[in-house]
Amino acid sequence: MLFYLLSAFSLGGVLTLRTMGRNRQFQSYLLVAALLFLFVGMLQGNDSPQVALIRYAVMLFRVLFGLISPFAFLFFGLALVFNGVLLLKKEGWAKRYGLLVAVGAFILLMDLLFLLNYFVFHHYLIWRFMRLMGYFIIYFGVVLILFFVATAFYGIVPVSLDKDFVIVLGAGLLPDGGISPLLRRRLDRAIRFFRHQTERAQKRPCRLIVSGGTGVDEPFSEAYAMKRYLVEKGIPEEVILEEDKSVNTYQNFLYSKGIMDAYKESYKCLFITNNFHVVRSSLYAHRVGLETDGLGAWTPLYFLPYAFLREFIALIFLQIKAHTLLLAGVLVFGVWRIYL
């Protein structure tokens, strides 16, 4: 009964936040929690054939996971290395792409250690170490699943066509000051939303805030280049506002909020970035006290593995205190289960 109540409470939280139009990321977490509580509640104290079948399915999954996971990690490590090398060839040398290759190589080494110990060494200390690593893998796996669910949630739930402002986050310019492919997709997404709200929904035009300062290797601000691109695409210049002081995502929202506050006391806003960047951006928006929806622009498939891994790592560091405490708990629990 307790798990059913927790499921209902979590689902009620989703509906409440949805009605208020707030914090989509937390909505997605509550939805996952509601489904998990419902699933556990169905398994507790129920001996029906259907529940017994589910229990057998869970046991079968655990066995299959134990058999398949070493080869799955092998494939995952190879995929990261391959994707990192591909990015290095396409985009040129960068430390972040080298990090992708390094992470893939580390996963391959850990997987190789497991396979060698399974088939050759059979050393109990290595088994204990691998079991301990398994708890950390489960932890990061759960966090990664929540990240994917939150990202998908932003992509599935429709955005209401009643916005006063749309913030387009900058993404760096080309060496000659041109719009990079990543930034162009954000701007094109903003153009589609602007026209959809003004033409199809017959609503008043929203103001577009192009947010981005001048990088060390850029001839002018990202905001200026973004405004120029929008005007070339037929967006009226009078509805475009430039925010040209920010140098990171946090400042994008902080300075854009200042612009919106100066125009209106109460307003509805939306931010646009790439799909892999929506979740972390929403956290920054929340930190500056901005309640906003988010829209993600399409990203090429070859770029997604690196982009999601980078965002995942950045999310961990963004909430490093909470994750440090939780990882310490995982370590204590793992040592207690394995060594005591």
- pLDDT one-digit tens code per residue, 248-298: 999 999 999 999 999 988 999 999 999 999 999 998 998 999 989 899 999
3-state secondary structure of 297: strand
Residue 270: beta bridge partners? 166, 293
Summarised one tens digit per residue, pLDDT across range 179-225 is 999 999 999 999 999 999 988 767 778 999 999 998 877 889 999 99
Whole-angstrom Cα distance, residue 270 to residue 274?
Answer: 13
Counting residues of the chain whose pLDDT is more than 90, the rounded percentage is 30
- Quote the tokens at residue 239: 């509805």
Phi, psi for 210 (deg, rounded to 5): -95, 120
Query: Whose structure tokens read 């829209």?
Result: 295
Cα-to-chain-centroid distance, residue 239: 30
Distances (CA, A) of 6 to 28, 150, 220, 272: 16, 20, 53, 34
Helix-helix angle 95-116:49-91, to 10 degrees = 130
Predicted pLDDT of residue 277: 94
Report the candidate in 212, 287, 108 with the shortest Cα–Cα distance to residue 116: 108
CA torsion angle 187 193 198 202 (round to 10): 170
> What would the CATH number be for the domain defined by 165-299?
3.40.50.620
Domain ranges of the chain: 2-156+320-339, 165-299
Phi, psi for 90 (deg, rounded to 5): -80, -40
Residue 21: left (phi > 0), alpha (psi -120 to 50), or beta? left
Q: Does the pLDDT value for residue 106 go beyond 80? A: yes
At residue 143's C-alpha, the angle toward residues 142 and 149, to 5°, is: 90
- Quote the tokens at residue 213: 């300062």
Predicted pLDDT of residue 237: 95
Single-letter residue type at 40: V
